[in-house]
A and B are shown apart, each in its own frame.
Chain A
């Protein structure tokens, strides 16, 4: 499909004898919000780690914006327009909130201090952390640290944003804000979302891909997936 911003062909990863991801063919059209779900240990994080380049695949290929990026290191993929937010919050805890986001913006904007400052204000404004700009990032509450992660993603202006369990540990009110943010964001960027919270998936995702035992079990709209018996069996552990 020519409109796919990201695709994989037979992407596989083995750890010793364990085949964590097996021959996954995956296509993500530009502009879509795609949710990636599956039971614990289904290979979701392993799969996206290969997309961004944190893990080297055992076999298969990753194509981003029409170019094979399988051999590129993570930083080069980010330079091409991918961004990744960590499942376990990974910020620069001893630096200020402002510097955290500035680091994300600076790779793209370089020495243009005014442009970096404007981008920092915009990204922090979008996630509602503007007033906390001067704080040390490690002093923020957990929910605010998650938002800072997302602001760092935004400041990179990615073409594809990969969010690894972004709502984990957030309060209900924070999740509502998060959904608004992602919907606004999807105007300009493609989003791949690993998510456990099915109400978030139903509210946000255009389509859902289900991984189980490292393989694609099903793919479809949230309603189709909800009705899919195989998916239910995988989650409930029967069948």
Chain B
């Protein structure tokens, strides 16, 4: 069986397993997993840039927040229903990532990290300063009555879970497709050796910009979905913490693997969930686990799977 076929079967199996869990999990974990799937979609967007293109952004929270606020503000002030509001979130994410990409990609390496971090801080401050519209730190709630999409109440736990699964599966299979395309192979080439890729005749700037926009738009989709499914839009999601989290999820799960974002997000979520029940210094436990992973599985858990078991893992 070819690697591509195996990969398709594996990832379809993951989606099927997640679907089955909808009926099996107790309410608490059911709610958690819905959240994890939305956040893992965010990590998938981040992974396109870090894992497949080799660009480390420290400002992805601005794309997540662009989706969330694009959705939330258009509902609050323009009376959009969930469908158009979600699309408004996507459009906001695409526009912000295009603008940031054009400017930030003039730099590389550490400078790129700093520039994206600064842009994200600026975006966070804008949200706070525009508190009259965004309600700043406090944020605003999207009422249950507004969260009905095509007759489906997205605040219902079952529907919410399935919507989260739909988003996650769409992001994952979109990514599987994108990295298989010639343009996706060029991104990997840029990650491995940008100068060589340029001298094979590829416009590396255009390819990197494409990666930033797709990555930012997927992150925005996750942000918009998060606001819709959990009924809250707030500035916390634009803070630096939400730029660092996807980095940790992806490193833990395996940068440059399709399955890594889900593994990393779920692991980190439960690590914090369980350890915060034991001690108030729960981030210490998370930190130790991250150090151990870096020492013993530097390519993350997905990377280890690829190295030890499944060399065909995309």
Contact = CB atoms under 8 A, between A and B. Distances in A.
Interface of A: 52, 54, 73-76, 78-79, 83-84, 86, 90-95, 99, 102-104, 106-108, 110-111, 152, 156
Contact of A84 (B193, B199, B202, B203): B199
Interface of B: 181-182, 185-186, 188-189, 192-193, 195-204
B199 A110 contact: no
B193 A78 contact: no
Given A92-B189, A156-B200, 8 more contacts: A75-B198, A78-B199, A86-B199, A92-B193, A92-B196, A94-B192, A103-B197, A107-B200
B201 A156 contact: yes
A54 B188 CA distance: 21
A78 B192 contact: no
B196 A90 contact: yes
Give the one of A75, A83, A90 with max B CB within 10 A: A75
B185 A91 contact: no
B204 A95 contact: no
A108 B199 CA distance: 13
Nearest to B195: A90
Interface of chain B: mostly helix, strand, loop or mixed: helix
Contact of B185 (A78, A93, A106): A106
Contacts of A111: 181-182
B179 to A, nearest CB: 13
B185 A99 contact: yes
A189 B186 CA distance: 26
Contact of A78 (B182, B189, B201): B201
Contacts of B198: 73-75
Contacts of B199: 52, 54, 74-75, 78, 83-84, 86
B192 A93 contact: yes
Contacts of A73: 198, 203
Contacts of A152: 200
Contacts of A92: 189, 192-193, 196
Contacts of A74: 198-199
B85 to A, nearest CB: 36
A94 B204 CA distance: 19
9 contacts: A52-B199, A74-B198, A75-B198, A75-B202, A90-B193, A103-B189, A103-B200, A104-B200, A106-B186
Given A79-B201, A103-B200, A110 B192 contact: no
Contacts of A104: 200
Contacts of A90: 193, 195-196
A-B pairs, 7 with minimum CB distance: A78-B201, A92-B192, A107-B201, A79-B201, A90-B196, A75-B203, A106-B182
A108 B182 CA distance: 11
Contacts of A91: 193, 196
Contact of B204 (A75, A99, A110): A75
